[in-house]
Chain A
């Protein structure tokens, strides 16, 4: 029994730590892999249950990839949740920390500046692309593009505005449209 439990914790670590180091473009890039590993390979959740956990992770605050905490919880309770979370965030954070420290050492040299200034626009482009990727796959279609456009305009116009009111209004409007059965 004890062996089975620590075996599960080890397996959680072995699944999430490599994914951490492969999650280029943010945690969401790994969701398909997380699904494959936890449903097909390790049977920590069923298909349906995975969809429920995914919905739950979307409804809660924090990084979308908090999904891994829920998988860990299903597989091995609270210790499982902690192991999965640490495994998913620690390796990538450690690598970033080391690179940031080493990189910072050359600050001020011409080539360092050129690399930083050269990568900055690509980083900004990838950042923007992350938003567009959400719109490309959303089931809400045109309504999502309109809501995103309005929110973008409002946030640019009022730089100090807290985003929360916009989230609440947009969520409420979408919920209402759905309950009234209107299709856009």
Chain B
């Protein structure tokens, strides 16, 4: 959290960036690729710090598109500018595209093999754990104020538990939450 110790964005070569996202794409089973990007780039590699990722996540979640590719694009943009924004999602997408077409060409169908559905349900359940742990640690690191925690809880209640459509919830909570953040910014002059 203190800016002196570690740079907010790591300086890695273009090839390293490409390979990291390519590998991530090929290993991100079970969906929830946004959580995979967080786990790999923030927690395991430490290339982008939690706070930057959280602000990028705010931008990403306000836009349409696959969560994983949106986060790949924004991480790529932070690390290497426009060319990184193009490269990271491309690298993440190309592997799975080739793999899925190869499987489709060979098998055609997978649904009839006994047990496959259950195995995939088990994988999906573990990936929910990946999503929840990413969300929880992003909140813990990024927004410790009580007001922000309350907004997180309200969003989870409305969309995650009651299953309300996300767009109206977003449009209702956003002005409230932004006003709260605005008031807070005026009360305490400026975070270092």
Task: State in angstroms the CA–CA spacing of A94 and B74 once bound together.
Answer: 12
Residue B135 is within 8 A (CB to CB) of chain A in the complex = yes
Residue A171 is within 8 A (CB to CB) of chain B in the complex = yes
In the assembled complex, which residues on chain A have CB atoms less than 8 Å from the CB atom of B93?
A: 62-63, 85, 89
Partner of A129, one of B101, B107, B166: B166
Asked if A56 contacts B28 (CB within 8 A), the reply is no
What 0/1 readout, one digit per residue, does chain B (110-141) give for beta carbons within 8 Å of chain A? 11001111111111111111111111111100
Asked if A63 contacts B152 (CB within 8 A), the reply is no
In the assembled complex, which residues on chain B have CB atoms less than 8 Å from the CB atom of A100?
A: 59, 73-74, 77, 85
Asked if A124 contacts B54 (CB within 8 A), the reply is yes
Asked if B160 contacts A96 (CB within 8 A), the reply is no
Asked if A125 contacts B159 (CB within 8 A), the reply is yes
Task: State in angstroms the CA–CA spacing of A119 and B143 once bound together.
Answer: 11
Number of interface residues of B (CB under 8 A): 105
User: How many Å from the CB of A170 to the closest CB on chain B?
Assistant: 4
What 0/1 readout, one digit per residue, does chain B (25-41) give for beta carbons within 8 Å of chain A? 11111111111100100
Q: Is the interface of A mostly helix, strand, loop or mixed?
A: helix
Residue B178 is within 8 A (CB to CB) of chain A in the complex = yes
Partner of A151, one of B73, B129, B156: B129
Q: A66-B100, A81-B101, A126-B170 are in contact. List 16 more A-B contacts (CB 8 A).
A: A55-B120, A56-B110, A62-B92, A85-B93, A92-B65, A126-B159, A127-B35, A127-B67, A127-B131, A129-B156, A144-B128, A147-B122, A148-B125, A151-B127, A175-B115, A175-B119
Q: Which residues of A contact B (CB under 8 A)?
A: 20-28, 51-53, 55-66, 69-70, 73, 78, 81, 85, 89, 92-93, 95-97, 99-101, 103, 110-111, 113-136, 138-140, 143-145, 147-156, 159-160, 162-164, 166-167, 169-175, 177-179
For the complex of A and B, list the 6 residue pairs with the smallest distance between their C-beta atoms, beginning with the closest: A151-B129, A62-B96, A125-B155, A174-B122, A92-B65, A129-B160
